[in-house]
Structure 1
Amino acid sequence: MDPQLLFDLTFPLAAPFWALMILAPGWSVTRRIIGSPLIVVPPMLVYAALVIPQFATVFAAVASPELPGVAALLGTPLGAAAGWAHFIAFDLFVGRFIHLDSRERGIHPLVTAPVLVLTILLAPLGLLAHLLLRAVLPRRRSQQADLAATPSR
């Protein structure tokens, strides 16, 4: 398939999930959708569509990684598009973790939203920011835990 087309398709496949986590974190639909790790499948399929037809080339570059070989691969349209799909898939997986962990710890969505935006742009820094927040903010019970602990009448 055309690397440019797949490159262009990758982020739009992930964007709705980011929008749910950032703009509607408490919505029951968000909880249901983001609760599934399968949200990362669309960008993973793009990655597979790029890598599988060129498996030998990609595998050679990553099996014994050396900077010149990885740079050469990433300097091609195929390599750049595959790298982008890889980033988008794993960034979304990390964002999902941050969202779910924040909800479980009772971290306010207005605190989590900028961390998720940072994760979209620079995922390792977003994850670092979340881990720092976890370390300094007191753990509060989530709203879900509060509801579960409330006796029904």
Structure 2
Amino acid sequence: MYSWLFAAAGIAFPFWLLMILLPGWRVTRFLAERQVFPLFLAVLYTAGIGAAVAHYGLGFVQDFGSEDGVLRLLAMPDFALIVWIHILCFDQAIGHWIYRDYMADRFLPLPVLSVILFCTLMFGPFGWLVYTVLRALLRPART
């Protein structure tokens, strides 16, 4: 089941291409406004974590509190795939937020937005940090 969830999560990748390469296209705007792909990934994650809880019980949660526990969980293929979907979902949600926030003011050249979105796709928190800093420095003040 977890391999199927992982494969299904790949469906969300083309939306990154739309945001990066075709940010002004009405289809891109339509999908971003409805948050189709982060919601899709959240459903996949929920199915995966639900299956894990059904199979392993809630005892695995205690492993979140220690380095050894987290490493033990990530060494299990099922949990590693669920964690990957978790990461994909949050990166996609942050990418959507960046895209939607940017489209409200367009305070950067589009190529810069594309680079930031690519960084968010590849290095999630780093892309968000770059956008947040540039937003604070360059975005016109709202009154």
TM-score by length of 1: 0.80
Larger mean CA deviation between 35-44 and 105-114 belongs to 35-44
SS in 2 for 1:116: helix
What value does the CA root-mean-square deviation take over the aligned residues? Answer: 2.1
CA distance in 2, matches of 1:98, 1:78: 30
Match of 2:73 in 1: 73
Residue 108 to residue 9, structure 1, CA distance change in 2 (3 Å): same
Residue 78 to residue 70, structure 1, CA distance change in 2 (3 Å): same
Superposed structure 1 runs of 4+ greater than 6 Å apart: none
Shift, 1:129, TM fit? 0.5
Are 1:60 and 2:62 matched, yes or no? no
Paired letter, 1:27: W
Give the counterpart of 1:18 among 16, 23, 36. 16
Q: Is the 8 A contact 1:13 1:43 kept in 2?
A: no
Larger Rg: 1
CA distance in 2, matches of 1:59, 1:104: 42
CA distance in 1, matches of 2:140, 2:104: 9
SS in 2 for 1:25: coil
Aligned pair count reads: 139
Q: Deviations over 1:3-50 (max 9, x none)?
A: 23322332x221121111111111112111111133212222221222
Q: Which has the higher helix share?
A: 2
TM-score by length of 2: 0.85
Q: Deviations over 1:123-147 (max 9, x none)?
A: 0001001011112224299xxxxxx
5+ unaligned residues in a row in structure 2: which ranges?
A: none
5+ unaligned residues in a row in structure 1: which ranges?
A: 142-153
Q: Deviations over 1:58-84 (max 9, x none)?
A: 743335622222221111111110001
SS in 2 for 1:139: coil
Sequence identity (%): 32
